[in-house]
Amino acid sequence: MFPTSKTILLTAASASLALTQSAVAEEFGRDRHRGNPYVAGDMHNHNTCTDGSVSAGYSIDRSVAKGVAAGGGNNFDLDWFTLGNHGGSGNRDCRFSDTSANLPGDTTTTWNQTLGQTIDGITITSLKGTPNGTGSNAKMWRWQSIKEIEYPIIVNRAPMYNKVLIEGLEWIAPGHEHVDVAVITGQNPRRGGNADKMAEFEYRFDRSDTDAIGPIREGGEDQLWQGKDNVNNTGTAGHQKALEGIKWLQAHHPLQSYVIPTHTERQGPFDPSASKGYNIEHFRDFNNAGPTVAFGIESPGHFAEGGLTGGSGSYTATAVGGGTYGMSGIYTAKVGGLWDGLLGEGRNFFIYVSSDWHSRGAGVARDAFTTADFIPGEYTRLYVPNEGRFSSQSVIDGMRSGNSYSVNADLIGSDMVFRARARGDDWKTMGETLVVRPGDQVTVEMEMTVPAKNNSPYSFNNPLLEQVGIKQPLNKPSLDHVDLISGKITGVVAPGAPGYAVANAGGTAGADIVYNSTASVVRQIPATKMHREHRDRDSVRLRFTTTITAGNTPFYVRARGTNIPVGTPNVTDTAGNPLLDANNAKVSCADPACPAHLETVNGVKKVTHDIQAWSNVWFYANPIFIRPEGSPKLLVETNADLARRLGHRAENDQH
């Protein structure tokens, strides 16, 4: 299914997209982990404002606090956190958790029960905009809950935590499925601020927000946000509306926003008459329309949903690729796949991970087990650079720069180094471009720490590894090997040119599409061959260096790592690529401590749900780009230059 060629490819380049600080951003983080080069966060999660199970405040508390929650359950000490709830509307007062969460003092509460009451310092006197339901089904439009509920909750929480808290959105994009968005303009929780621009984007461009009124200008009857397109929400016309939303962000908030499509394979290929899916041309369109705001995609989330027939990430057999692969969609998991196709154009297009937290499934919020989702910080961590004056702007700058990496189950920690150089040049890291001479030896270096433990509540041995004679407790991370993956960069494909739009297919047929035939695993470095240094509390620092010969063609190098050996039955193929995760369920969980919530075949527990997630673990590092001197700049470089110019212009406007 995956290319297994060991052909050694050429180089990768770098022009940092890390940008300037926004004037509105406020410095945070006196309580951050000092000395760590990266800090961890989550940008995609849900609460009772839409379809989550817990209150907005509870989701923040469990994600960024330390120790144990007052109502039970561990907190996960993230450094930054974005409330990333759906667009549209909701009938539940999200200052309360749902009854299903089984939290002391909280029960399902609807807006019609609380209008006029002051709760947590917030008073809602009316549901604004076009009337939407009656009685217990009366709904608040999301633009209002963004402005008047979620952001004020962030402001209330800001004095409690020295962390970066951001109001964001899971945009229900016209013509497609879902997209992570944040607009930080105006947000400054330590000094009040507002999330009006985030709310305005949701009102204007979310296909589930059909409100036709929006906020009314104070002291008058005029609509504050005029000119909304409430018609073109599906198929090809919807895609054009989505592009208008991205152009709006690029025009008004080019350094203060991001647009990151999520679980992109889940609903199958794009349907020109419906609202689902993405093909490669849609990502190209997004990046073209928003070169400094639309710069990547996100992995599926819902990491504990995997059952006997699949389901991790809510992916079924109708997803592109037919399911997930090592807890990632086929677009990012496949060597030579869609991500490699975009990198083969030299695009600033990176990958990220988040929890997509909704609920515990068969469990409740305080339970240590889950058959659905992990709390932000529990299983997934998105690492961005730990700037000295860390702020919400730092999060967006770090994501835009490409200098970020994504980790499941704490496979590695917050101090990864991935860099390249030639001829004694300065080191270039993820998202940057190294300029070389043909024939240069490019040195690639990687360092990472494997922590002594993770957040898994299970201490029995990994059943996927026991197949190959390895006894490794699920709560103790282990790294088997790292793959360096490289592909040639042949230039940007122009709209309308052959190959710009690629016909897709649902199901496993989607896994057969190769977008970059030059991509391959050029180095596979076993952990046993890396330099090892034991650190405190049994953590291990690993390091390796290798060289790649530069040729006449630009190239990139990206990295992934896993705890799974090459050729592990039902998990990886003979080249080490992840197999369809549904195959994990063919493996039995035979330890007496295997939990009761696992799915069974003839009474035998199988590797499903959270056991699957803790067993099959990967990390992904974004690429380093390399190009020969004298050759044209790559798109990643020109878009970085654009971001720098925009940053300088913003600085000049402030003086």
What pLDDT was estimated at residue 655?
Answer: 59
Q: DSSP of 196-232, one letter per residue?
A: HHHHHHHHHH-TT---SS-PBPTTSSSBSS-----S-
Q: How many Å apart are CA 337 and CA 514, to the nearest integer?
A: 5
464-497: pLDDT as tens digits: 999 999 999 999 999 999 999 999 999 999 999 9
Q: Return the minimum-mean-pLDDT range out of 111-115, 217-221, 234-238.
A: 217-221
Q: For 527, which DSSP code?
A: G
pLDDT of amino acid 220? 80
Least confident window among 40-44, 216-220, 255-259, 446-450? 216-220
Pairwise pLDDT comparison (511 vs 80), residue with the higher score? 80
Residue 336 neighbours by CB under 8 Å, 6+ apart: 2, 3, 487, 514, 515, 516, 517, 518, 519, 520
- Distance between CA atoms of 176 and 511, rounded to whole angstroms? 20
Q: CA-to-CA distance for 79 and 8, rounded, in angstroms? A: 38
Closest CA to 12 of 500, 620, 429: 429
Q: Where are the domains of the chain?
A: 413-654
How confident is the model over 165-191, as pLDDT tens digits? 999 999 999 999 999 999 999 999 999
- Please tell me the number of Cα atoms within 13 Å of 103 on its side-chain side: 24
Distance CA 517, CA 140 (A): 49
Average pLDDT, integer, range 531-542:
89
Start-to-end Cα distance in the chain: 57
pLDDT digits (tens, 9 = 90+) for 87-135: 999 999 999 999 999 999 999 999 999 999 999 999 999 999 999 999 9
State how far the Cα of 187 lies from the Cα of 542, in Å rounded to an integer: 39
**Residue 29: is its pLDDT beyond 70?**
no
Q: 316, 506 in Cβ contact below 8 A? A: no
Strands 428-429 and 417-421: antiparallel
pLDDT at 243 over 60: yes
What is the rounded CA–CA span in Å between residue 364 and residue 54?
10
pLDDT in tens, 608-652: 999 999 999 999 999 999 999 999 999 999 999 999 999 988 777
For residue 152, give the nearest of 83, 251, 240 by alpha carbon: 83
Taken in order 485, 490, 495, 498, the sign of the CA dihedral is: negative
Q: Please check whether residue 161 is in contact with residue 64, taking contact to mean a CB–CB distance below 8 angstroms.
A: yes
Give the rounded percent of residues in the chain with a pLDDT score beyond 70.
94
Higher pLDDT pick, 592 / 655: 592
Query: Measuring CA to CA, which residue among 634, 642, 633 is closest to residue 251?
Result: 642
Q: Mean pLDDT across the stretch 4-24?
A: 29
Residue 522, pLDDT > 60, answer: yes
pLDDT attached to residue 512: 85
| Dihedral Cα 108, 62, 380, 339, nearest 10 deg | 60
- Please give the residue that has the higher pLDDT: either 93 or 16: 93
Residue 652: Cβ-neighbour burial (10 angstroms; 0-12, 13-18, 19+): exposed
251 exposure class (CB count in 10 Å sphere: 0-12, 13-18, 19+): exposed
Whether the pLDDT of residue 529 is over 50: the answer is yes
Q: Is the pLDDT of residue 19 over 80?
A: no
What does the pLDDT average to over 369-373? Answer: 98
Distance CA 451, CA 306 (A): 25
Instruction: Tell how far CA 300 is from the center of its chain.
Output: 8
pTM equals: 0.94
The residue type at 140: M
What is the tally of helices (H) and strands (E) in the chain?
Answer: 13, 25
Residue 652: the pLDDT is 75
Q: How confident is the model at residue 427 (pLDDT cuts 50, 70, 90)?
A: very high
Report the chain's mean pLDDT, rounded to a whole number: 93
Q: What is the pLDDT of residues 333-351, one digit of tens each?
A: 999 999 999 999 999 999 9
Taking residues 345-363, report their average pLDDT. 98
Question: Residue 305 and residue 597: Cα distance in Å, rounded?
Answer: 12
DSSP per residue, 35-74: T-SEEEEE--B--TTTT-SS-HHHHHHHHH--SB-TTSSB
Task: Assign 35 a pLDDT band (cuts: 50, 70, 90).
Answer: low
In this prediction, residue 34 has a pLDDT band, given cuts at 50, 70 and 90, of low
Rounded to whole angstroms, how far apart are CA atoms 125 and 118?
Answer: 9
Report the percent of the chain where pLDDT is more than 90: 88
